[in-house]
Amino acid sequence: MAATDPRWHLEWKAVRVAGRPARYGEAGEGMPFIFLHGWGLRDHTYKRAMSRLAASGVRVLAPSLPGFGGTARLPGSEFSMDGYADWVAQFAAAVGVSGDHYLGGHSFGGGVAIKTAHDHGDHCQLLVLVNSIGGAVWRSDGAGGAPDEFLVDRPIWDWGVRFPGDIAGRPGLLRAGRVIVQDAARNLLRDPLGFWRVGTLARQANLLGELEELKRRQLPVVVLWGNEDEIMPAASLDAIVSAVGQEAVVVDGSHSWLLADPDQFGEIMTNVVNVARQRGN
């Protein structure tokens, strides 16, 4: 069935999570698939990609994470990757997800998905990471002779100068780029301090230990990666792949390739979901 079918269009809803307001999009039917957005963005940013995911035969639940898109930010005492993972588990309960489900995320959302699967993953049947944070490595010589440089040591200016290059000149990213900038600007104006703090949290996230534990538990993990990513370095991908023991599915595109080419994302995810279904039978 085509992703243009109205049944696959996200419906925007509100719910209370831990007594605080949260916004999310929902579409489709079948196994619940909770998908988490990247830093500075929100559920609306991903509506085209999520409609393709819903068309693969799952019930998509795409929340705006705390501090973004109208969802209340986490209290100071809960502001951590642990706190975000706890919030996702509470969100799942609030929207009626109590059994088996799939989990995925893009960029910062991928890191939150890793932590959620690790801390609250008893019923998680599949983890999908799209150009995810968590690999922690900035640079590596690949030979073991020199120590790795970690993302936490990467200068802020280096992230900033690479962001325009990740969007500029990419086929399909003109429209997506406008949405990314608009949504990021809204979130920045709404809570500039929170916006900055979440970015710092993303830079500091080292989730390789969690990924290795998920490998030990034999949770199926699918790593998707745009090969022209200017935001997350290849060394970080290598670290993630090593931790999960599974080669990445590499596509032509930038850090936000799923927003630029939602049809390609939908095709890949249809295959991923079908394999997950067969594994579960």
DSSP run (H or E) holding 107: none
CB atoms within 10 A of CB 226: 24
Lowest mean pLDDT among 59-68, 89-98, 150-159: 150-159
Kindly state the tokens that stand for 66. Answer: 């705390």
For 195-246, what is each residue's pLDDT tens digit?
Answer: 778 888 888 899 999 999 999 999 999 999 999 888 888 899 999 999 999 9
Please, what's the b/e burial string for 35-50 (b: 16 or more CB within 10 A of its CB; e: otherwise)?
Answer: bbbbbbbbbbbbbbbb
Q: Which CATH superfamily, name and number, covers 6-280?
A: Alpha/Beta hydrolase fold, catalytic domain (3.40.50.1820)
SS (H, E, C) 46-67: HHHHHHHHHHCCEEEEEECCCC
Cβ(260)–Cβ(173) below 8 Å:
yes
Task: Give yes or no for residue 95 having a pLDDT over 70.
Answer: yes
* Angstrom distance (rounded) from CA 36 to CA 176: 17
Q: Which residue has the tokens 């399909």?
A: 172
The model carries a pTM of 0.90
pLDDT value, residue 137: 84
